Structure 1
Amino acid sequence: MSFALVLISTLNNLTQLSLNGWRLSNEDAFDLGKTIREKLVSNVLELSLKNVPSQTNRLVVKVAEESGKVTVSRGSSGCLYRFKKTGRAPSFLNKMMLISFSWKE
């Protein structure tokens, strides 16, 4: 398990995390998104992914948003992502939007 996953899984009040310049594999990106989705304790996490390939960023976001438990917004810099817990299950329309969004990229 990577250091970033350990941080998110164990620190209850984590609200900011910088992984600037990290070399994340696709597996690490998937695991990071899943950990944010399933184990995020705080209501909001700001994640900085500067100098990380955009493909990796998209994978983290896609996996985190899959269940509808978390919504993601991008900061103005393009490398800062804000993950916010929704506390609800996704609607059918939201699931379809996620699927169509991932096909466009």
Structure 2
Amino acid sequence: MTTHKKSMVSIGIMHKGENRILYTGVRGKDGLADLISKYFSNKRFAKFDEEDYRDLIEYLRMVGKNSEPDQEKLIRSEVKKIADAVDAYNSNGYAKLTYQRF
């Protein structure tokens, strides 16, 4: 019997030359991690800007609404945490964000 290693995804923000992780989730265990991975077409790494970020948040909210109530609540709270963290670091309205699968 083989065990499969679960891969993780993270969303980070470039802030003063550092990539600060805002969200980390385990694919196959965390519905939001699966949705984020699917959104990025299972790429291993991507940089994206404010407009792409807003599209991602809108996509996650839309998919969350079509989920089971418990899953929707979880997705909504995690998306809010990501959005709040981006807004806190992003005082000038422009962010360089990163997506990573590992």
TM-score (norm 1): 0.29
Higher relative contact order (CA 8 A, sep 6+): 2
Greater strand proportion: 2
Q: If the length of structure 2 is used for normalisation, what is the TM-score? A: 0.30
Select the structure of larger CA radius of gyration: 2
